[in-house]
């Protein structure tokens, strides 16, 4: 009887595997030609990543990495609106309110996946068509190739929900030119289309409707090297003329961004913005005043420290910060105000930058002993 039961479990396991290509599955994992293809398939949720998706993607990347017949990995989203709008913040919020382990498991699994992408030995191509924010940036930006389109909208909007630009934001943001990464991380400013390429977040720019053809050509490559993949992406990139003449959206403000956001503390940044008094500075001040003061302080320090750390060290630091945020007030209040009640008026605690002490900020960066992130 036990043997029959075991056999049944094996059969069910196979059925579960074949269900992966079912159009209702949240995630599709397929092998086509020499390419492993990951399709985020929650179009109604803008392909937001939940724990079960992360837990399926991670081992699959590891398997493909070892497979001599897999030459590259492609990741994309369905629905035409978003590549991936972020992590499943609602689920984490619900879990945090009742002290569920998901608040640890989710971040741990997500950051391990970010690291797997950042260290992947096979060329990894992310087709970031549409909204790409938060967790969606984490599963794309650390890979070898990121293909943006005229529909791409990039942002790290975490300070607005009492979090910080995680998923390795502490690694890639401070490495953007000048103080641009600090500006993007603190204000959540959105970059669109070709601008995502101009700042170096995307490596290539291709017209959205050409992506299926590009994907087909990538799949058709015979045992391709990274160079061959780059050549193919370059050929599509060179042919794309959309917005070619357009000036970078922040071009005229870069000098100001570099000087205003180079201050050593949030209070100093705010002071500089007030002193500057230009319409641009006033607009940034208005934005910053809406953000969680705690998040702003954690973010500034995260980016300053991350500038000289490896991706692994950054993810370890960010895991500590994520757990501090899960224990705090602002994350739950931010999610309530922005995503649940949508009244857009969070009541932050503490409500002012001056009330967030250096001691508190220090405590959020402290090692967690056995609970630290292991990569």
Burial profile 181-200: b = 16 or more Cβ within 10 angstroms, e = fewer:
bbbbbbbbbbbebbbbbbbe
Task: Judge contact between 177 and 154, C-beta under 8 A.
Answer: no
The two structure tokens encoding residue 146: 């990121």
The angle subtended at Cα 144 by Cα 125 and Cα 127, nearest 5°, is 25
DSSP state of 372: S
HSE at residue 86, side-chain half, CA atoms within 13 A, is 20
The position carrying tokens 């074949």 is 18
Taking the C-alpha atoms of residue 294 and residue 92, their distance in angstroms, rounded to an integer, is 19
Task: Judge contact between 45 and 78, C-beta under 8 A.
Answer: no
Task: Judge contact between 63 and 100, C-beta under 8 A.
Answer: no
- Rounded to 5 degrees, what are φ and ψ at 28? -115, 130
Q: Which residues contact 26 (CB under 8 A, 6 or more apart)?
A: 40, 41, 42, 50, 52, 53
DSSP of 171-204: HHGGGSSTTHHHHHHHH-PPEETHHHHHTTS-SE
Task: Judge contact between 49 and 88, C-beta under 8 A.
Answer: yes
The position carrying tokens 């998706």 is 53
Whether the ω angle into residue 271 lies within 30 degrees of 0, i.e. cis, is no
Q: Is the dihedral of CA 260, 255, 283, 48 positive or negative?
A: negative
Residues taking part in catalysis = 87, 135, 158, 166
H/E segment holding residue 238 = helix 226-239
């Amino acid at each position: 009887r036990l043997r029959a039961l075991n056999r049944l479990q094996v059969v069910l396991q196979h059925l579960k595997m074949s269900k992966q290509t079912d159009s209702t599955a949240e995630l599709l994992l397929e092998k086509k030609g020499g390419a492993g293809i990951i399709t985020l398939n929650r179009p109604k949720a803008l392909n937001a990543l939940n724990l079960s998706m992360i837990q399926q993607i991670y081992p699959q990347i590891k398997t493909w990495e070892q497979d001599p017949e897999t030459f590259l990995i492609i990741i994309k989203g369905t629905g035409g609106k978003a590549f991936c709008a972020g992590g499943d913040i609602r689920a984490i919020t619900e879990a945090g309110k009742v002290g569920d382990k998901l608040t640890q498991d989710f971040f741990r699994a997500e950051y391990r996946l970010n690291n797997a992408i950042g260290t992947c030995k096979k060329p990894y191509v992310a087709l970031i068509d549409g909204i790409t924010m938060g967790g969606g940036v984490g599963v794309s930006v650390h890979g070898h190739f990121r293909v943006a389109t005229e529909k791409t909208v990039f942002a790290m909007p975490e300070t607005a929900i009492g979090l910080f630009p995680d998923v390795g934001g502490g690694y890639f943001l401070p490495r953007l030119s000048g103080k641009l990464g600090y500006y993007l991380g603190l204000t959540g400013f959105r970059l669109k289309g070709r601008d995502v390429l101009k700042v170096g977040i995307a490596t290539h720019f291709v017209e959205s409707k050409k992506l299926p053809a590009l994907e087909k050509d990538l799949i058709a490559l015979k045992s391709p090297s990274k160079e061959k993949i780059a050549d193919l992406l370059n050929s599509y990139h060179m042919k794309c003329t959309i917005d070619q003449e357009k000036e970078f959206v922040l071009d005229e403000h870069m000098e100001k961004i570099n000087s205003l956001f180079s201050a050593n503390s949030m209070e100093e940044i705010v002071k500089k913005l007030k002193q500057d008094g230009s319409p641009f500075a006033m607009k940034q001040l208005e934005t910053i005043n809406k953000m969680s003061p705690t998040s702003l302080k954690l973010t500034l320090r995260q980016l300053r420290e991350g500038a000289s750390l490896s991706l692994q060290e950054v993810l370890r630091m960010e895991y500590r910060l994520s757990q501090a945020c899960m224990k705090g007030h602002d994350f739950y209040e931010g999610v309530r105000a922005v995503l649940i009640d949508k009244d857009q008026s969070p009541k932050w605690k503490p409500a002012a930058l001056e009330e967030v002490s250096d001691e508190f900020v220090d405590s959020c960066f402290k090692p967690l002993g056995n609970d630290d992130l292991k990569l």
